[in-house]
Amino acid sequence: MTQPVPESTTGRQDPLRVAVIGLGWAGRSIWLPRLREHPRFVVTAAVDPDPAVRAAVGGDDPGLDLFADVAELTGSDAARPDLAVVAVPNHRHADVAESLLAVGIPVFLEKPVCLSSAEADRLAAAETAGNATLLAGSAARYRADVSRLYEVAAGLGAIRHVDLAWVRARGIPDAGGWFTRREQSGGGALVDLGWHLLDTLTPLLGSVWFHQVVGTTSDDFVNDEAWAASWRHDDEAGGPSRSGGDVEDTARGFLITEEGTSVALRASWASHEARDLTAITVEGAGGTASLRCTFGFGPNRQDRSVLTLTRTGETTTVPLAEEPIGTEYRRQLDVLPAMLVDPASRGRAIAEVRPTIAAIERLYDSARSHRTVPPLVHAGR
């Protein structure tokens, strides 16, 4: 995981001029507040097609340049930012980031960075053509408990297996809106929660490719408003109806790397559990490390994060520092200035993303194949 770099080594002291692209829940609730309070950034522009949303954001900051689309921003030399934070709906991630990179504007792109390997190719080409750096959102890696897990896992010897799970009690986002419509989201819980889980693998295993992938999906809760994410209702209503979603609310998979390490994955927007649980277990030749916590902002959280280490039948609890919910997003911002001026950052995001999106594509392919297999015909019937 990239560690924070002291400000004096970043090559510049002036705050970075930032444009926030997309003023939905993530743009307004996660990024705008943290960018505004951070000393290394100044928000100078915001882009969103909704005039009411632009007016609301502009009311909080009268000096902000407001635009309806990215073309207006890139067409204005005076408004040109040092960095664009892109938090638009999933299906627009690649298009918006590509257009900004192509004209030389560095981009920090919320997950999922892309919805296909073809989109990853486009972003790589745009990064090269515009001589601009693409940085990817990787919130989970910047959690203090996950960082401590990585430290403990480094002493486990060869890693044989990793269990990854993020299971919400109730938490289907934007039910009936773009989040639950495949053509706009690219998928359901696998793209949303599963991306975070798979992203935590890189510091553990490197940018690994999977030799075998099998997966299945289900949609028992996605069109029932009772299972919707309460913390997102007011900010992202998808229209008068909260039905019609065509994505999965749960995905399960089993993956094996080319080196033989296995990974079990479960991502669920809703379940019959009482609390939201994120669990990462790393089994190594020299022991097992297990983290139980809650990623994200959901209210049905675990009481606290717990990290344990088990060796030869003895389990010990590893001390963890407590931190406020959402600290990982501020921690990402701390390192962005240094990453922007580091030549090694160019191309790194896409290199890490390619195995992730390839795994997601193969999990969906596997799940679809299960649903198209005809029922068994028993002999003699």
- The separation between CA 267 and the C-alpha centre of its own chain, rounded to angstroms, equals 13
Cα separation, 275 vs 294, whole angstroms = 9
Domains of the chain: residue spans and CATH: 7-137 (3.40.50.720), 140-329 (3.30.360.10)
- List residues bridging with 289 in a β-sheet: 282, 309
- 259-306 confidence digits (pLDDT tens): 999 999 999 999 999 999 999 999 999 999 999 999 999 899 999 999
Cα separation, 34 vs 37, whole angstroms = 5
Q: Looking at the predicted structure, is the pLDDT value of residue 308 above 60? A: yes
- The separation between CA 46 and the C-alpha centre of its own chain, rounded to angstroms, equals 21
Please report, for residues 62, 119, 189, 216, 266, the alpha-carbon distance to residue 165 in angstroms, rounded to integers and kept in the order given.
43, 26, 11, 14, 5
- 172-216 confidence digits (pLDDT tens): 987 568 889 999 999 999 999 999 999 999 999 998 999 999 999
pLDDT recorded at residue 176: 63
pLDDT recorded at residue 309: 98
pLDDT recorded at residue 377: 46
The structure tokens listed for 343 are 């030549």
Percent of the chain with pLDDT over 70: 90
| Positive/negative CA dihedral, 263, 269, 270, 275 | positive
Q: Looking at the predicted structure, is the pLDDT value of residue 4 above 80? A: no
Query: What is the chain's mean pLDDT, rounded?
Result: 91
96's CB contacts (< 8 A; 6+ apart) are: 21, 22, 70, 86, 88
217's CB contacts (< 8 A; 6+ apart) are: 188, 190, 248, 250, 251, 252, 364, 367
